[in-house]
Amino acid sequence: MVTVAQQQSLKFRQLVLSNRLSAVGLVIVVVSVTVAVAFAIFGPRITPYDPFALNLQQSNLPPSPSHFFGTDFQGRDVFSRIIAALPIDLGLPIAIVLLSSVLGIFLGMAAGYLGGVVDEAIMRTTDLFLAFPTLIMVLAVAATLGSGLVNAMLAFVFVWWPPYVRLVRGGVLEVAAEEFISISKALNSSFRYIIFKGILPNILPSVLTYATLDIGTALLEVSILGFLGIGIPPNTPELGVMVGSISYGLYTYPWQALFPAFATMILVVGFSFLGEGAREASDVKVRPYILFKTRVFGKRPEKPIPATAQQ
């Protein structure tokens, strides 16, 4: 038997795939993630050339059948370098968004549900972080922490969580005002049960939609950090580093910067298309079924009670 949650998940996927742009974005994301995972597992065995091997005799070669995207100033195949960059250029933004969203969900739910002094303290701190340009703060923190991928990730997470706090807090305030939450409280449901069964399932779709769009933004800013040579070590196979390393010879060897820049654009567009499709699909508001915990009969109802039936 198909549950209501499964029906909603199926309907959501159908709505996303019915949008041509989101379907294109899904293809881009799936292909790029698959290639990134394959390289992370098998390494240079899946690339035409070793992306780390130097060959000065073949430096600065233009695109050709033997080197699709040409070679860089150290003779490394640009196409192979782009493939090698995918685990970093996808893994780092996904980790940043994942950690930031988890922190934002925790703080946003605390602010929205507990209210009072807790809400005031969390939101004033959030406002303080939002008052400064995100990229400037990332650059400052990354320069302070020093070079390294972990330090670069921590620099982003340090300043990336405030939008999630605002998003989650607003969702919590909206859901907490619903009648089924009042009924759940009247039935002496536990705090954990109300949070994880009543509130969290109703705000997660909005968070996931925003996070999908946010991965593209994080990817772009990670590339900017690499381009500027801050946080990400030089000679690392990263798209921003690849673009920045040829800034001196951009007009002489343009392929060395254009192809990594184009790859960055494709990845950002892919996540943007997918996130936009998810946003449009999530506009269809279908309240998930909420299971109420009752202490009157000592057990939960045999059938789930739809929230819409109680309004």
Q: Estimate to the nearest angstrom the gap between the alpha carbon of 184 and the chain centroid.
A: 33
Res. 302: pLDDT tops 60: no
Could you give the dihedral angle defined by the CA atoms of residues 57, 62, 67 and 69, in that order, rounded to the nearest 10 degrees? 130
Residue 121: count other Cβ atoms within 10 Å of its Cβ. 13
Res. 177: pLDDT tops 90: no
More confident residue, 303 or 102: 102
- Give domain limits for the chain: 91-310
Res. 9: pLDDT tops 60: no
Res. 148: pLDDT tops 60: yes
Instruction: Reduce the DSSP state of residue 71 to 3 states and report it.
Output: strand
Q: What is the DSSP letter of 177?
A: T
What is the pLDDT at residue 245?
Answer: 81
Q: Which of 116, 209, 124, 135 is nearest to 165 (CA)?
A: 124
What is the pLDDT at residue 209?
Answer: 86
Class of domain 91-310: mainly alpha
Stretch among 38-42, 115-119, 198-202, 236-240 having the lowest mean pLDDT: 198-202
What does the alpha-carbon distance between residue 138 and residue 107 come to, in Å, rounded to a whole number?
Answer: 21
pLDDT tens digits for 48-67?
A: 999 988 888 888 888 989 88
Stretch among 27-41, 44-58, 235-249 having the lowest mean pLDDT: 235-249
Give the pLDDT band (50/70/90) at residue 123. Answer: very high
Residue indicated by tokens 């567009």: 269
pLDDT tens digits for 79-117?
A: 999 999 999 999 999 999 999 999 999 999 989 888 889
What does the alpha-carbon distance between residue 73 and residue 256 come to, in Å, rounded to a whole number?
Answer: 8
List 305's β-bridge partners, or say none. Answer: 290
Q: What percent of the chain shows pLDDT beyond 90? A: 34
Give the pLDDT band (50/70/90) at residue 168. Answer: very high
Summary mean pLDDT of the chain: 81
More confident residue, 103 or 5: 103
Res. 288: pLDDT tops 80: no
Res. 263: pLDDT tops 50: yes
pLDDT tens digits for 184-197?
A: 767 766 767 777 77
